[in-house]
Amino acid sequence: MKGLQKRFSTSFNTANNEQGAVLVLTAIILASVIALSGYLWNRVGGFVYTQGREILSEKVESITEGGLDKAIWELNQNGLYAGETGTSFGDGTFDIAISNINGSTKLITATGYIPNSVTPITTKTIQIEALSSGNVISFPYGLQAGEDGIEVGIGASIDGSVYSNGNVTVGAGSDIASNVWVAGGVGPTINPSFEENGNASLGSGLLFDGNNDYVRIPHDSSLSMSGDFTLSAWINIDSNTSSYDNLIGKFDGTSQWNYFLDFNSSRQFTMGWDDTQYCVSSSSFNLDEWTHVTVVFDDAANRAHFYINGQYDSSCRVNYSPTPNTGDVYIGAFYENSSFSEFVDGSIDDVRIWNIARSQEDIESDWLGEITGSESGLVGYWKFNEGTGQDLFDETSNGNDGYRGQSSSSENSDPVWIDEVTTEGYMYSFGDHYTRRDMAMAFDAGQTGFVNEISVRLKKVGNPSNLRLRLVANNVNNPGGSSYALAERILQSSWVT
- Residue 210 in any domain: the answer is yes
In a shared domain, residues 345 and 212: yes
From 373, 399, 418, the end of a domain falls on 418
DSSP H helical ranges for 253-359: none
> Where does residue 448 rank: exposed (0-12), middle (13-18), buried (19+ CB within 10 A)?
middle
Question: Is the pLDDT confidence value at 103 over 50?
Answer: yes
Would you state the pLDDT for residue 150?
A: 60
H or E, element range at 144:
strand 142-144
- Residue 188 in any domain: the answer is no
* Range of lowest pLDDT (65-69, 187-191, 227-231): 187-191
- Residue 157 in any domain: the answer is no
In a shared domain, residues 305 and 446: no
pLDDT in tens, 444-457: 334 333 443 344 44
Question: Is the pLDDT confidence value at 308 over 80?
Answer: yes
In a shared domain, residues 390 and 484: no
Domain that holds residue 429: 198-202+421-495
In a shared domain, residues 400 and 312: yes
Strands 257-264 and 244-251: antiparallel
Neighbours of 286 (CB within 10 A): 10
Contact 236, 346 (CB under 8 A): yes
Contact 362, 377 (CB under 8 A): no
Task: Give the Cα separation of 59 and 54 in Å (integer).
Answer: 9
Number of domains in the chain: 3
Task: Give the Cα separation of 206 and 211 in Å (integer).
Answer: 14
- In sequence order, the 6+-apart residues with CB closer than 8 A to the CB of 6 are none
pLDDT in tens, 130-175: 654 443 334 433 434 444 556 665 556 555 555 554 556 666 555 5
| Triad 397, 245, 300: Cα angle to 5° | 55
Question: When comparing pLDDT for 225 and 74, which is higher?
Answer: 225
pLDDT band at 289 (very low <50, low <70, confident <90, very high): confident
DSSP assignment letter at 342? -
- Residue 193 in any domain: the answer is no
pTM attached to this predicted model: 0.50
In a shared domain, residues 369 and 299: yes
In whole angstroms, how large is the CA radius of gyration of the chain? 28
In a shared domain, residues 221 and 126: no
In a shared domain, residues 245 and 107: no
Task: Give the Cα separation of 203 and 370 in Å (integer).
Answer: 10
Which whole number is the average pLDDT over 102-114? 79
- Residue 183 in any domain: the answer is no
DSSP assignment letter at 395? S
- Residue 162 in any domain: the answer is no
- Residue 173 in any domain: the answer is no
From 369, 394, 418, the end of a domain falls on 418
In a shared domain, residues 344 and 222: yes
Question: Is the pLDDT confidence value at 343 over 70?
Answer: yes
Sign of CA dihedral 243, 245, 248, 252: positive
| HSE-up of residue 64 (Cα within 13 Å, Cβ side) | 24
- Residue 189 in any domain: the answer is no
* Range of lowest pLDDT (10-14, 80-84, 134-138, 463-467): 10-14
Task: Give the Cα separation of 309 and 270 in Å (integer).
Answer: 16
In a shared domain, residues 19 and 47: yes
Closest by alpha carbon to 182, among 149, 156, 142?
149
Would you state the pLDDT for residue 471?
A: 52
Whichever domain contains 317, its CATH number is: 2.60.120.200
Q: What beta strand segments (E) does 185-253 contain?
A: 186-187, 193-201, 205-209, 215-217, 229-239, 244-251
Would you state the pLDDT for residue 315?
A: 93
In a shared domain, residues 351 and 469: no
3-state secondary structure of 329: strand
Task: Give the Cα separation of 426 and 495 in Å (integer).
Answer: 12
Contact 258, 277 (CB under 8 A): no
DSSP string, 303-315: EEEEEETTEEEEE
Most confident of the ranges 135-139, 172-176, 264-268, 474-478? 264-268
pLDDT in tens, 227-246: 999 999 999 899 987 899 99
From 363, 386, 418, the end of a domain falls on 418
In a shared domain, residues 145 and 31: yes
In a shared domain, residues 425 and 413: no
Which whole number is the average pLDDT over 37-49? 35
Which whole number is the average pLDDT over 333-354? 93
Mean pLDDT of the chain: 69
Using CA atoms in the order 172, 174, 179, 185, what is the torsion angle rounded to 10 degrees? Answer: -20
Please report, for residues 27, 139, 146, 342, the alpha-carbon distance to residue 150 in angstroms, rounded to integers and kept in the order given: 7, 10, 8, 55
